Structure 1
Amino acid sequence: MTARGGRARRADATANREALLNAAQTLLAADPHASLDAIAHAAGLSRRALYGHFADRESLLREVISVGAERFNRIAELTDDPDPRVALARMAARLWREASAVRASANIALDDAHVAQTVQALAPLRRRVRELVADGVASGAFRRDMPEGLLTFLVERTGRATLRELRPSSDGAGTVVRVVLSIVGVPWSEQAALLDAHPEVLAAE
């Protein structure tokens, strides 16, 4: 085999894998139980070709989670503000929009069967949430009537529960932001003033 032939085969393999992941994102966003046959067909490939990239359905789901987690973690790492209330609100809004864009990853992440893997994949995001909670508590912006660890846990669980119940909508980001800020102890009246002062938090990006 020539070097050019080898490069062509690798390029085809990369393109096929990308097509399978894109098809999985599209189908699993609508139906978390979409079959491998349906995903392969949507990618324009055979089931046999799919098995050339993924040993089984679980390995495909793990890759979909990984792709989504990379995007979620990047948002968390790049979101910051001197005011921990604004930083947390901005992160919540951005994560909501991203979850809407890669709904398949969000659907799988919310599935109890994949909690352990999701927790591991989202370690950078979870670390950033802990940092923001600690900053908010230290500054007095967040409630101090419970341990930081418990407050972080409540933010994570509430965000997950809210994602499970909500569907993509024009006001979804606003709902998530208000729920998360309420959990950390920011009064609703203060939330309104905060969001009025920072309209970019809920502005579509």
Structure 2
Amino acid sequence: MTTTAARRPRRDALENRAGIIAAAQSVLATDPNASLDAIAHAAGLSRRALYGHFSDREALLRAVIEVGAARFNTIAEQVDHPDARVALARLAADLWRAASTVQASANIALDDAHVADTVRALAPLRRRVRDLVERGRAEGAFRADVPPELLGFLIEETARATLRELPAETPDAASVVVRVVLSVSGLSWTEQAGLLAAHPGIVEER
């Protein structure tokens, strides 16, 4: 067997796995309770072929979480600004856009049954939030009446609840998410308005 021929089955397997995950994202975006049969059909594979890559539905859901988390973690790594308020606002807005785009990952990640998997997969993002909290407190921009660990947790949980409850078609949804996160951080509504007026690109559609 040639080297090229030997590599082909592995490449096919990887492509099939990626195709299953993509199909799962598409199907679960509209039906979070979709069956493996529905996902296999969308991927153009048999249920048996799907089981060749994922042992059960939970294994597939974890893979979808990992894919979505990788995108969210990349956003967290790339978003920054000298002003911690702006950095946190941009992070919240960009995560909302990604969550509304990768709706399947968001639906699963926001499901209480998968909190443990989500927390583990989003560890880099959570560290980023903690870093921004520390910076914001040091700059005197974020509230200092609660411990930084608790403030970071409150920001995460508030954002999580907002993403779960806020319809994607809500007008100015990114602005709503940003304002909620900044409110928890300690900014008044007038401070938020001033910040967004000075940095309109944070909530503008891209």
Amino acid in structure 1 at the alignment position of 2:130: R
* Structure 2: gaps spanning 5 or more residues: none
Name the residue aligned to 2:77: 77
Name the residue aligned to 1:8: 8
| SS of 1:118 mapped into structure 2 | helix
Name the residue aligned to 1:151: 151
Alignment of 1:80-95 (within 5 A): 80-95=80-95
Cα separation, 1, equivalents of 2:156 and 2:105? 17
Name the residue aligned to 1:123: 123
| SS of 1:151 mapped into structure 2 | helix
Cα separation, 1, equivalents of 2:19 and 2:71? 18
Pairwise CA distance, 1:168: 1.2
The RMSD of aligned alpha carbons is 1.1
Cα separation, 1, equivalents of 2:7 and 2:127? 40
Name the residue aligned to 1:36: 36
| SS of 1:54 mapped into structure 2 | coil
Q: Percent identity?
A: 67
Name the residue aligned to 2:55: 55
Pairwise CA distance, 1:144: 1.4
Count of matched residue pairs: 205
Match status 1:190 vs 2:191 = yes
Cα separation, 2, equivalents of 1:140 and 1:11? 52
* Structure 1: gaps spanning 5 or more residues: none
Cα separation, 2, equivalents of 1:96 and 1:191? 18
Cα separation, 2, equivalents of 1:181 and 1:147? 17
Pairwise CA distance, 1:167: 1.9
| SS of 1:141 mapped into structure 2 | coil
Q: Deviations over 1:129-160 (max 9, x none)?
A: 00101111111101111111111111011001
TM-score by length of structure 2 reads: 0.96
Pairwise CA distance, 1:76: 0.6
Amino acid in structure 2 at the alignment position of 1:191: Q
